[in-house]
């Protein structure tokens, strides 16, 4: 296993993946904390002819969803910003009223994956 920061940037994701590939030629999967880094990693992998590596991103951006539909990325994870905002406002109203709120308020995610 290897990991390096890419600052949520596509170009840095490409550079980091190239660096990792120098010492790890047997990579089977990549998970990036956002789609920009995943797409950068995908570009580096493709440049090395490594088209069978599972690449998963996070955010379900248009470019990532397109890459998933084209079979280039395995998946991306869609957050629910409207629901996050709704739950945040609900919690803020409850706090303002002096009510107790849960310390952790989860919001379901959606896996966007190819066939």
Instruction: Please state whether beta strands 29-31 and 54-58 pair in parallel, antiparallel, or not at all (unpaired).
Output: parallel
93 is a domain residue: no
55 is a domain residue: yes
92 is a domain residue: no
Position 1 scores a pLDDT of: 80
Q: Which domain holds residue 27?
A: 10-79+109-113
95 is a domain residue: no
96 is a domain residue: no
Confidence of residue 44 (pLDDT cuts 50, 70, 90): very high
57 is a domain residue: yes
List C-alpha distances in Å: 49 to 87, 88, 114: 44, 44, 21
Per-chain mean pLDDT for the chain: 95
Give the span between the Cα atoms of 58 and 109, in whole angstroms: 10
CATH code of the domain in which 68 resides = 3.40.50.2300
Cβ–Cβ < 8 Å for 112, 104: no
Q: What is the pTM of this model?
A: 0.85
Interacting residues of 23 by C-beta distance below 8 A, sequence separation 6+: 2
Confidence of residue 42 (pLDDT cuts 50, 70, 90): very high
104 is a domain residue: no
4 is a domain residue: no
Position 25 scores a pLDDT of: 86
Position 62 scores a pLDDT of: 96
In the chain, the number of structural domains is 1
Over residues 52-108, the pLDDT tens digits come to 999 999 999 999 999 999 999 999 999 999 999 999 999 999 999 999 999 999 999
The DSSP symbol for 49 reads T
Which residue matches tokens 């950068």? 40
Cβ–Cβ < 8 Å for 16, 6: yes
């Amino acid at each position: 296993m290897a990991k390096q920061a890419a600052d949520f940037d596509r170009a840095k994701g490409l550079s980091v993946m190239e660096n990792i590939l120098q010492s790890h030629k047997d990579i089977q999967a990549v998970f990036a904390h956002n789609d920009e880094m995943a797409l950068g990693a995908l570009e580096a992998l493709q440049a090395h002819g490594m088209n069978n590596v599972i690449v998963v991103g996070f955010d379900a951006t248009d470019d990532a969803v397109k890459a998933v539909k084209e079979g280039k990325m395995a998946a991306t994870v869609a957050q629910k910003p409207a629901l996050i905002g709704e739950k945040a406002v609900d919690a803020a109203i409850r706090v303002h009223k002096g009510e107790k709120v849960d310390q952790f308020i989860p919001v379901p995610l959606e896996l966007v994956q190819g066939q």
